[in-house]
Amino acid sequence: MSTDPAFEAVWNALPQAALILDENDRFSRVNGAAESFLGLSARALVKRRAPDVFGQSSRVMDLVGQARRGAGVSVGEHGMELSLPDRPPRIVDLHVCSLTDMPGCALLLIHPQSIAERMDRSLTHRAAARSVMGLSAMLAHEIKNPLAGISGAAQLLEMQLGDGETELCELIREEADRVAKLLEKVEQFGDNRPAALEPVNIHDVLDKAKLSAKSGFGQHVRFAEEFDPSLPPTAGDPDQLMQVFLNLLKNAAEAAPKVGGMITIRTSYRPGIRMAAPSGRRESLPLQVLISDNGPGVPDALKRDIFEPFVTSKATGSGLGLALVSKIMADHGGVIECESDPGWTTFRLLLPVWSEPKPAAKAKTRKKGATA
Ligand SMILES: Nc1ncnc2c1ncn2[C@@H]1O[C@H](COP(=O)(O)OP(=O)(O)OP(=O)(O)O)[C@@H](O)[C@H]1O
Ligand SMILES: [Mg+2]
């Protein structure tokens, strides 16, 4: 293997994790980025075989096999989910090439997707959530009235029947109530009014959501919190943010074990995270809220789609909770993402800081108020 100083310098300066596998799938060389990506030192890695780290029948080994079919062959995959032992899955771009001068050897380049790319994914979810809005608003409107009629008629029938004969009427009413609740959720998608943003203390909303969870669906779990007391207010609609936190806490409580269930809420200020807003400007999203639970983790098959409407693993779930969260976050110019592994799940929310509207906008608002 080359010890040319120029090669060494380039090899270690590569931003991607770079690894060379020998013909027996052992790591013969890894760079600094690979050490930090895999969480193992080069010395620990060279003793191991790639199938033990990536999995014998993993997609990575599959691509290594493909690249080895010819000298100088290069194969790659974008947006691949890479699972490593004891680490949460990561979305990466992977390239594998066989090395012409080193028969049987393969070079792996792993490029983790940046937060900006993950934000893009979050934006796609928002678009999907919006696409159900028109249809859902129409359906909810059309179904609600006849449903109220069905429920009322069942109640009248129930009054005319004797004791012991009302079971089926009760069933009709209960099911009608369930559908009505579902329609209420669906209807929220049709609500296209712009969020009425005001300065909101995130901790106040989190406290209220936690109190509501503790006295209802979260009675069986222990709550822990680590709040950054200096967190500035966000620009939000307190009712909608309450809905966001309630939906996330409800999912966490449903996932957490009946015994030993634990939900942790953390807040912090992280300057430096910016994303492109629809206006084209780059907005800063420094307010971070993390909601974690010690449940079994998001099922692998759902991981990529949990923010899509109607995606659920629950027998009576509507699959609308997270889609609604995603929509509300989008209306707030924020971002949500999820990381999960067997034994834990964390939802990360990033929100902007409240800033006073510019004087011109202020004047306009006042004028509008005066003529109303
Ligand atoms: N904290 C979590 N732990 C594990 N899986 C989760 C968690 N939160 C969400 N999920 C997964 O994501 C799916 C979608 O969640 P979402 O809140 O959108 O719908 P739901 O909870 O199934 O139904 P609804 O919220 O309408 O009652 C869930 O069914 C579950 O599989
Ligand atoms: Mg839910």
pLDDT band at 64 (very low <50, low <70, confident <90, very high): very high
Is 325's C-beta closer than 6 angstroms to any atom of ligand 1?
Answer: no
The residue contributing the CA closest to ligand 1 atom 25 is: 321
Which residues, including other chains, have CB under 8 Å from residue 296's CB and lie 6 or more apart?
255, 342, 343
Supply the mean pLDDT for the chain: 83
pTM: 0.63
Closest residue by Cα to residue 168 from 179, 183, 153: 153
- Two tokens at 303? 């991981």
- Ligand 1, residues 181, 314, 349: which to mutate, most atoms within 8 A of Cβ? 314
What pLDDT score does 121 carry? 61
* DSSP character string of 34-62: HHHHHTS-HHHHTTSBHHHHH-TTSHHHH
pLDDT band at 272 (very low <50, low <70, confident <90, very high): low
Choices 3.20.20.100, 2.40.30.10, 3.30.70.380, 3.30.565.10: CATH for 198-351: 3.30.565.10
The residue contributing the CA closest to ligand 1 atom 23 is: 317
Where exactly are the structural domains of the chain?
5-113, 119-190, 198-351
pLDDT of 275 over the 70 cut: no
pLDDT of 100 over the 50 cut: yes
Three-state DSSP state, 73: coil
CATH for 5-113 is 3.30.450.20
End-to-end, the C-alpha distance of the chain in Å comes to 78
Give residue-wise pLDDT tens across range 283-320. 788 999 999 999 999 998 898 889 888 889 998 888 88
Per CATH, 5-113 and 198-351 having the same topology is answered no
Q: Are strands 74-82 and 27-30 parallel, antiparallel or unpaired?
A: unpaired
